[in-house]
Amino acid sequence: MDPRLLETFVRAAQSGSLSATALQIGRTQSAVTMQMQRLEEILGQRLLRRSGSGVRLTGAGERLLVHAERILKTHEEALEAFSDRRLRGSIVFGSPEDYLLTFFPSLLKSFGARYPDVEIKVVAAPTVELRVLLHSRQVDLALISTRDQEDAGDIVRTESLAWVGAKPRLKQYGFGDVIPLALPASNAVDHRAACDAMARAGLRYKVAYASNSIAGLIAVARSGLAISVMTRGPVPADLFVLKAPLPAMERLGVKLALARKDPAPAIAAFADHIRRTLPSL
């Protein structure tokens, strides 16, 4: 099997969208469709089930995904083993703090094992600040949050937002008619999503505490003086995710953004590693 077919298949399985896959590999959607049809012909099995919302793996597709990821990994390792050039360079990587806590240790460990000569420097900042740093090329690539799920081409995974507090039910806090919230700064994606959700639900609230630090939001949540909002990944075991009567929270898209269209080899390799690895973490 052509590794290029397997590469396209893995990306389609991870993104759930042939249009997103086409953007990731720089091909047209019709070319991606033809590649998947060719792979299905080779194996004599239907691998993807099409629907209005994208594609899903069939049972045969699920089985192939395990083998395809293993084959591609072995293929890359073989090429590296017989290459005279070891990848070197320095990368400045930006990310919101919650994604760093949730994903970065695994990303760094697996990338560092394969490319030990690449140095990665980390900048922790909210999405709004990371966009500025990307534009000025002070960071090379970054994970940023978006509420625009239509921008599927750059979204590598989605994360759910959650209301977080020291007690499991809202009525246990005794807040009265106005719910105090602990949110990131007003220009943060999480802040706007939380306020919009409260407005849609018709609930009265006040922003009692503001902090762009996950540690700060967790500290306020532990105090019981307010309800915090954060992605589910960094929520510690001693806090609770609250549900009704608080409104359901939307899912954020996690985008991978690069400062340059033609990144250096080390940056391109790390970007590709993130696209491969992040969806399954």
pTM of full prediction above 0.85: no
CATH fold, domain 3-81, is Arc Repressor Mutant, subunit A (1.10.10)
Tokens of 55: 């594609």
**Cβ distance 212 to 262 under 8 Å?**
no
CATH fold, domain 159-251, is D-Maltodextrin-Binding Protein; domain 2 (3.40.190)
3-state secondary structure the chain: CCHHHHHHHHHHHHHCCHHHHHHHHCCCHHHHHHHHHHHHHHHCCCCEEEECCEEEECHHHHHHHHHHHHHHHHHHHHHHHCCCCCCCEEEEEEECHHHHHHHHHHHHHHHHHHCCCEEEEEEECCHHHHHHHHHCCCCCEEEEEECCCCCHHHEEEEEEEEEEECCCCHHHCCCCCCEEEEECCCCCHHHHHHHHHHHHHCCCEEEEEECCCHHHHHHHHHHCCCEEEEECCCCCCCCEEECCCCCCCCEEEEEEEECCCCCCHHHHHHHHHHHHHHHHC
CATH of 89-156+253-280, one of 3.30.70.260, 3.50.50.60, 3.40.50.300, 3.40.190.10: 3.40.190.10
Burial of 113 from C-beta contacts in 10 A (0-12 / 13-18 / 19+): exposed
- Per the document, the length of the chain is 281
| Same fold: 3-81 with 159-251 | no
pLDDT tens digits, one per residue of 173-232: 999 999 999 999 888 889 999 999 999 999 999 999 988 889 999 999 999 999 999 999
Average pLDDT for the chain:
89
pLDDT tens digits, one per residue of 91-126: 999 999 999 999 999 999 999 988 888 999 999 999
Q: What percent of the chain has pLDDT over 90?
A: 58
Tokens of 14: 């991870």
CA-only gyration radius of the chain, Å: 21
- 25-39, 141-155, 160-174, 209-223: least confidently modelled range: 141-155
Q: Where are the domains of the chain?
A: 3-81, 89-156+253-280, 159-251
